[in-house]
Structure 1
Amino acid sequence: MLLPDMPLHDPFILADDATRTYYLYTSNDPTVSGVDGTGTMVYRSRDLRDWTRPVVVFLTAEQPGIWATDGGWAPEVHAWNGKYYLFTTLHNEDRPLPVPPAGRWGTPFQLKNHMRGTITAVSDSLLGPFTAVDPARPTPPENLMTLDGTLYVDPSGQPWMVYAHEWLQTIDGTVEAIRLTPDLTRTTGAPTFLFKASDAPWLNDQIPAGVPHQLPPYITDGPQLYRTTDGSLLMLWSTYEKNAATADGTISGGYVQTYAVSKSGDITGPWQHRPLLRDDSGHGMLFHTFDGQLTMILHRPFDNARGKLYDMQLVGHELRVLRQRTDLDGGG
């Protein structure tokens, strides 16, 4: 298979040095995998161009007593202490959470808050099967509506889960972090607030006056942490950029891939924000190819998404796009 033929929302690549194979994890799509159900599938490649048909590595239906009914978003797989850990976001619309007050936005959003969060599953193999470590609840606090959990390990060796706290519950979406136990299976302590979506200075201050609340004011999606060679700490994340109100009252715009730099070099920030790629692009992550090239994969557009690859460059703590790999991803 080739990237233009592969449905890819929230793509994540693990470059396995032992086998010199790229593992590309994404939500299970039964039309491609041939397996029904909510879960995770993985494509494999030696060259980022030609990919195997996907193999399903995780299914909620195979997790006895699982709390969730849907989702399978934003899967990531991390090698840790001789095992492989899958983070993926699930949800259950039949398990409601409190709706927040209107706050400064005036009219409350007429949207249902329900249980959503990233679960942790473990396997001895990159090809699974992965087993949920706690089928009864997500890894972050279950009273929070969260998504897109990612692994960060600080300089002391302390693992964290960094996740987006849904705008559906906070109105102004946030990114938060919570410490994990050494086996990554449980959290310890309270969440640490890192930043809110409206901290990104190029976003509109608010929805234009009189425009119906048909789209969220501030979204946080897809955090991923990256430590540079000079010790700087970067975070890729995505948001929705509102451009203008149209005559029928809707708001035009699209996803934008952005990144932030921690001024302290620590997970707690403070964070400075910069846009990276627009054109309805989002949920990017960085990895190194086997020849050492820093590369980013993201999806575009949001609907019917495909994977797009970019050669990247770091100048100090500034992240730059060198070129899109249209020879691999088909362009667009």
Structure 2
Amino acid sequence: MKKEEIRIRDPFVLPDKEKKLYYLYGTTDENVWDGDGTGFDAFTSADLENWEGPVQVFRPTKEFWATKHFWAPEVYYLNEKYYMFASFKSEDQCRGTQVLISKNPLGPFVPLTNKPVTPENWECLDGTLYIDNHNNPWMIFCHEWIQVQDGEICAIQLSEDLREAVSNPVILFRASEAKWTRGENNNYVTDGPFLIKDSQGQLKMLWSSIGEKGYAIGVARSESGNILGPWVQEAEPLFAESGGHGMLFETFEKDLLLTIHSPNSTPNERPCFFSVVDDNGLKLGKKKE
């Protein structure tokens, strides 16, 4: 398959340097908004252009609590295991991010626990993993605008085995704090946080919201270098028009790439890759054709 043939939202790439393979995960259900949740598929590539798949990496059992909105899986390799962070919802339970585990990057992934790690009574999504300077794992996630109006990016410290939160959630910032975001009826969206340290050693966060030209990606910087901030927003978005939920990864050739889904319209979403220049700030480069 070519990447133009892959319909996916919230793309996440895990490079495997030993196998020289890229694993692409994302929201892959046919009806991502209203239908029953099916699961997650993944794709593999050696060059980011020619892809094999889809491979079923997660399918829920009958006992699984969630029934819809299977969204935004991210996969990390830790302690010789693969951990997936993904969001789920049911009619009688709030949306939350749950941790799944597998011995293989192509699954099958199974729930690490029987419930999400995010707060039980909060509508949450898009949990992402960050390991701090003391090797403590954190989940950074969105507390949704549908519950708080001004969407929040929050953090909770996780136990070493990633099974549970060991701290209360902390609000890092709200969507309206960025000059580039646009609200509707005072509702401001937060989506897709992703953490990275740039070439200067500064801790930065990509995150998505609605901007002047639609779905967009902004960048925030931690003034302390610590996950708890304070966080300062860059005035202009990194990506400004009809594309978002981005993450950064390094290719086998040491190039820094941003992947997003674009356009932000169902069913036309496709994975896109852009070069990123990391020189006294992250700057968007050319699209990888």
Q: Tell me the TM-score range normalised by the shorter chain.
A: over 0.9
- What pairs with 1:193-272 in structure 2 (closer than 5 Å)? 193-204=171-182, 207=184, 213=185, 217-241=187-211, 243=212, 253-272=213-232
Q: Say whether 1:133 aligns with 2:112.
A: yes
Distance in structure 2 (CA, Å) of the matches to 1:55 and 1:27: 13
> Equivalent residue for 2:79?
81
Distance in structure 2 (CA, Å) of the matches to 1:258 and 1:203: 9
> Equivalent residue for 1:180?
158
Q: CA contact under 8 A between 2:37 and 2:70: conserved in structure 1?
A: no
Q: CA contact under 8 A between 2:181 and 2:209: conserved in structure 1?
A: no
In the alignment of these two chains, the number of paired residues is: 281
- 2:148 partner letter: T
Distance in structure 1 (CA, Å) of the matches to 2:246 and 2:238: 10
Question: Identity percentage over the alignment?
Answer: 41
Q: Say whether 1:149 aligns with 2:127.
A: yes
Q: How much does 1:255 deviate?
A: 0.4
Q: CA contact under 8 A between 1:220 and 1:237: conserved in structure 2?
A: yes
Q: Say whether 1:8 aligns with 2:13.
A: no
- What pairs with 1:17-32 in structure 2 (closer than 5 Å)? 17-29=17-29
Secondary structure at 1:236 match in 2: strand
Q: How much does 1:37 deviate?
A: 5.1
> Equivalent residue for 2:137?
159
Measured against aligned partners, the alpha-carbon deviations of 1:84-105 in whole angstroms (never above 9, x if no partner) come to 001111011x21xxxxxxxxxx
Q: CA contact under 8 A between 2:243 and 2:263: conserved in structure 1?
A: yes
Q: CA contact under 8 A between 1:139 and 1:186: conserved in structure 2?
A: yes
Structure possessing the higher radius of gyration over alpha carbons: 1
Give the TM-score taking structure 2 as reference length.
0.93
> Equivalent residue for 2:252?
290
> Equivalent residue for 2:68?
70
Measured against aligned partners, the alpha-carbon deviations of 1:45-85 in whole angstroms (never above 9, x if no partner) come to 0000100021010112x2x5322101221110000111000
- 2:27 partner letter: S
Q: How much does 1:264 deviate?
A: 1.1
Give the TM-score taking structure 1 as reference length.
0.81
Secondary structure at 1:198 match in 2: helix
Q: Say whether 1:320 aligns with 2:283.
A: yes
Secondary structure at 1:52 match in 2: strand
> Equivalent residue for 2:272?
308
> Equivalent residue for 1:118?
97
Measured against aligned partners, the alpha-carbon deviations of 1:213-252 in whole angstroms (never above 9, x if no partner) come to 5xx72000000000123220010000012x4xxxxxxxxx
